[in-house]
Structure 1
Amino acid sequence: MTLPWTVLRLFCAALVFAVLVACSPDDEGAAPQPSDPDPVDELIELADPLLGRWSGDLEGMIERRQIRVLVPYSRTFYFLDERGSQRGLSFEFMEAFEDFLNEQLGRGHQRVNVIFVPVTRDRLIPWLRDGRGDVIAANLTVTPTRQRQVLFSEPWSRGIDEVLVSGPSAEPVETTDDLAGRTVYVRPHSSYFESLERLNRSFSQRGLERMRLEPAPGHFETGDVLEMVAAGLIDHAVADDYLARLWEQALPDLQVHENIVLRQGAEMAFAVHPESQQLKVKLDEFLRNHRAGTLFGNVTFRRYLENTRWVLEEGRDEAVARFAELADLFREYGDEYDLDWLMLIAQGYQESRLDQSARSPAGAIGVMQLLPTTGAEMGVGDITELENNIHAGARYVRWMIDRYYADAPMDEDNKLLFALASYNAGPRRVREMRREAERVGLDPNIWFDNVETIAARVIGRETVQYVSNIYKYYIAFRLVSRQQRLEVPIIEG
Structure 2
Amino acid sequence: MNHTVRNGMIASVTILAGLGLTQCSNRTDTANVSKATSVEAIQNDGDLIVLTLEGPTTYRGTRDGPVGYEAELVQQFADTLGVTPKFIKMNSIDELLKAMEKGRGHIAAAGLTITEMRGSRLTFGPAYKEVSEIVVCGPGVIAPKTAEDLLDVDLTILASSSYQETLETLRIDYPQLEWSTQNAGSAMPIIRRVETGAIDCTVADSHLAEYARRLFPDLKVSMSLTKPRPLGWVYNEKINGMDQALAGWFIEAHASGYLAELDESWFGHLDEFDYIEVLRFVERVNERLPEFRTYFETAASETEFDWHLLAAQAYQESHWDPDARSPTGVRGLMMLTNRTASEVGVTNRLDPAQSVKGGAEYLQRIYDRLPEDITGKDRTWFALAAYNIGLGHVYDARKLAVRQGLDPSSWDDIERMLPLLTRAKYYQTVKHGYARGYEPVRYVERIRDYYGMLRANVPV
| TM-score normalised according to structure 1 size | 0.47
| TM-score normalised according to structure 2 size | 0.50
Task: Answer 1 or 2: higher relative contact order, Cα 8 Å, separation at least 6.
Answer: 1
